[in-house]
Every structure is written in structure tokens, then in C-alpha cells.
Structure 1
């Protein structure tokens, strides 16, 4: 989300803006996936699509607990 926010700060006028991200070699597979998501969602208003892809990668977390990411194994109460 931080990269998407930085990208959004660039384009705040009536002229088309560009955001170039310089990535060092050897980034993790997870970082590579996140960068690819940003690369493929470049249209205005892409935030929702990016958030959904991030949800797929990280998981929703524990709905009834404190964890903010991770995949939910079961929903319900005992």
C-alpha cells in the first residue's frame, strides 16, 4: 500500500504523471509479485483492484482475533 500511495502522490494535477520505481536485484518472490501487481494496474482508480490482489497474497487475517494478515482456516464460533 505504501508504494501505491507514493505513486498516487506523483499524479496530482491535470497533466499525466509517471512514477518510476528503481528496484535492486535480488528482491524476494513476494516483493516481485507485489511490484508486478503495481505494474499491471496503472489506470486511475486502480486502488481497489490492487487491494484485492494484496488480499489474495497476504490473506484476510483472523476475523475474530488480532492478526491482520494470513489465511483464514475457518469462520465461526465454538
Structure 2
């Protein structure tokens, strides 16, 4: 499964909304017999959030989308 967009508004952050959404995605993926979940994020977004939930970085594109920023690619094996 590939998660293309996952966004939580500033007012809902730190309330567990993102965690519950991620758990729902993972349950859906398991029911669909997916073996892994892929997603990407930027350093100014949420790489630590995904690491905290068991996602492993498998790639990084530096200086993207602009100099000094990075895009991270994550996988979680189910």
C-alpha cells in the first residue's frame, strides 16, 4: 500500500489524530493482505512521527524540494 497524503490540521495535532489515522491505514492494509506500507514526507513535516510508529527510512533525496531540505521515503513491513 502507498499512502499518498496524510495530513492533520494544526489544531488536531498532539491529540492522537495522526496516530489513529495511521492505525486505521495499517489495519486496512492488513485486511487487504498488503505486505508493506510505503510513504514519503519532508524534513519540515513528520519524519520523526513515522519513525515513532515503526516506519523505516529506505531512502532520502537531499536538497529537495529546495536546497537544505530533504524528502524521506519510509516503509513499514506488515
| Same fold (TM > 0.5) | no
Larger RCO (CA under 8 A, 6+ residues apart): 2
Query: Under a length normalisation based on structure 1, what TM-score does the superposition of the two structures give?
Result: 0.34
Q: Between Structure 1 and Structure 2, which shows a larger proportion of helix residues?
A: 1
The structure where strand makes up a greater share of residues is 2
Q: Which has the larger radius of gyration?
A: 1
The TM-score with structure 2 as length reference comes to 0.34
